[in-house]
Structure 1
Amino acid sequence: MIIIFIFKLIWDVFMFPENLWRVTTLAKKKATIVFVLFGMIIGAPYLKASLQTLETIAIDMQIISERIPELVIENGKLVLADQLEQSVLVKTDTANLVIYAENAPDSLTIERAIKRAPLSFLMGDSQLKVATPATDFDLSYDLLEGLTDVSLKAMMTDFGSLSALTLIPMVIVSLLVGLVDGLLQLVIMALFVNILSLLFRVRLPFAQNFKLVLVASFMPTLIMSILNIIGVYPAAQTALIAGITAYIYYKGIITHVTRL
């Protein structure tokens, strides 16, 4: 029932800005729920972008897995079914795989590939190196004893797959990003409407103005988030949200108070 009341209030304020004055009596618990919902809608485009990135990773990992030759790790060494004449280098947008041929020196091509990709897996004779453009670390084959090309391909496939273990952290991070981003936006808008109200000699506590802009900006923010999710990014959308919020605030608070 609380959620229904909140959405009805938000809709009534958006359609009829003069109802904004009702928000001044909104209980702290309900205001907190509105803020969490506000963070969720801001975080939704971030979540979509994360899912798209995961999908890209899954495709790239599939490409890499298809190029892995027959191999096994035995006695702390990489053993290939067929001796490589040259190093294997599989490049994708998100990851690289390098399997060094015996006694093959590091090539400039491999070095450049490592620097350009977010993640690289380099399989040498006795260790696996995981590298990023900023850092790298070595993993001894003693810890990977018995690993075969079949199990490695399965790991590559699972690396980019969507599961509860990947989805839940992504949702949590997106929500946290949305809450932080939303808080910054609301603080700035609350300061702005506080100055606007002072010009009309209307004085409200900052906490009240924060709560008012939270409800006033909810629908414009929701509309922009939906547009972002479907791939539409209006120019100066933050300014548009702020402008609509200021208009609703003016109609709902300043006009209401000056008429008393």
Structure 2
Amino acid sequence: MIDIQLFNLMKASFLNPEKLSAARSLNKKKIILYLIFLSFITAVPTWIQGNKLIADFKRDGQKIAEQLPSFKIEDDQLVTEESTKSFIYQTDSIIFTFDPTGEQTPEDVKKNTIGTTIGLALLKDGLYLSAPGYPGDISYTKMNGLDNTFFADLFLGMERVSSVIFILSFILIWLVNLLIVVIYNLLYTVFANLVSTFSRRSLRFSDNWKIVLFASTLPTVFFAVLNSFQLTPYLQLEATLAITIYFYYLAIKKIPKEKIIKK
């Protein structure tokens, strides 16, 4: 069931920000509920991009598995037939190097993977992996006996990613975005406190927090929509801050100013 008070404030954040001062009367339960809503909105673009990346990996994994020639690992080396040639498979999501001839070095592979998400190379003397937070060589020492079938199954394993993974990934992304929304709202509230002080409105930090949370709705939703289409405007955070503080100022304009007592 939709809470009428939250719905009216959300509508006001788009159409009539002057009414957002009413957010001061909201209880903690409703504020938490709205935080969950905003964090859900901001999580969608990241989840969409993550799903696209997984879909790319699934497609690329299948193509790589189809192109793998017959080989096996013996005596800590990649062994193939003499006629087998090296090849590189590259897309926006992955670059795969197969080099049984020793033409490529880990340094060469590392240079080639600049700008790509994942780099994987089956070299003559070892496996090289370049992934966020995990670049490095992996020796074939404990891989003796493995062949192309094992690695093909490994690549095809991406096809078996279940819906549970997608759900868990969204929950994780949502929790991270919930923390980000809280941090950003704290930042916006600090600036809102300065505005209320200079405009001589006596507002508590908690009141400003509530107003700012709704004042940030329009830019948050707007940029979330753009990000969902992989559009990331320059100075996005700064623009959100400026719009939020402007809407906040419109919301507190009708609140009476503190009287200055002359001595």
Q: Same fold (TM over 0.5)?
A: yes
How far the C-alpha of 1:249 sits from its partner, in A, is 1.5
Q: Distance in 2 between matches of 1:196 and 1:230?
A: 34
Deviations 1:188-235 (A, max 9, x none): 210111100101111222222122111111132112211221244444
Question: Which runs of 5 or more residues in structure 1 are unaligned?
Answer: none
How far the C-alpha of 1:60 sits from its partner, in A, is 2.5
Aligned 8 A contact 2:12 2:19 in 1: yes
Q: AA paired with 2:46?
A: Y
Q: AA paired with 2:177?
A: G
User: 1:92 aligns to what?
Assistant: 90
Aligned 8 A contact 1:220 1:241 in 2: yes
Aligned 8 A contact 2:18 2:251 in 1: yes
User: 1:224 aligns to what?
Assistant: 223
Q: Distance in 2 between matches of 1:234 and 1:110?
A: 36
Q: Which moved more, 1:27-36 or 1:152-161?
A: 152-161
| 1:61–1:227 CA distance, 2 compared to 1 (3 A) | same
Counterparts of 1:1-260 in structure 2 under 5 Å? 1-2=1-2, 5-71=5-71, 83-93=81-91, 94-98=94-98, 100=100, 104=101, 106-108=102-104, 111-117=107-113, 118-122=118-122, 129-132=127-130, 134-138=135-139, 140-141=142-143, 149-150=148-149, 152-159=151-158, 162-258=161-257
SS of residue in 2 equivalent to 1:202:
coil
Q: Distance in 2 between matches of 1:213 and 1:111?
A: 50
Q: AA paired with 1:17?
A: P
Question: Which runs of 5 or more residues in structure 2 are unaligned?
Answer: none
Aligned 8 A contact 1:64 1:97 in 2: no
SS of residue in 1 equivalent to 2:255:
helix
Aligned 8 A contact 1:77 1:141 in 2: no
Q: Distance in 1 between matches of 2:4 and 2:157?
A: 40
| 1:15–1:192 CA distance, 2 compared to 1 (3 A) | same
Deviations 1:42-83 (A, max 9, x none): 222222222222233233323311211235679999775xx1
Q: Distance in 2 between matches of 1:12 and 1:149?
A: 61
| 1:217–1:73 CA distance, 2 compared to 1 (3 A) | same
Deviations 1:113-169 (A, max 9, x none): 2443333142658xx635227323346236xx6x66455434313326653354234
| 1:193–1:110 CA distance, 2 compared to 1 (3 A) | closer
Q: Which moved more, 1:214-223 or 1:225-234?
A: 225-234
In the comparison of the two structures, how many residue pairs are matched?
A: 249
SS of residue in 1 equivalent to 2:218:
helix
SS of residue in 2 equivalent to 1:96:
strand
Normalising by structure 1, what TM-score?
0.78
Q: Distance in 2 between matches of 1:84 and 1:64?
A: 21
Q: Distance in 2 between matches of 1:86 and 1:151?
A: 18
Q: AA paired with 1:141?
A: M
SS of residue in 2 equivalent to 1:20:
helix
How far the C-alpha of 1:109 sits from its partner, in A, is 6.1
Aligned 8 A contact 2:193 2:208 in 1: yes
How far the C-alpha of 1:178 sits from its partner, in A, is 1.8
How much identity, in percent, do the aligned residues show? 24
Deviations 1:3-49 (A, max 9, x none): 56523321134322232122111111111111122122222222222
How far the C-alpha of 1:86 sits from its partner, in A, is 4.7
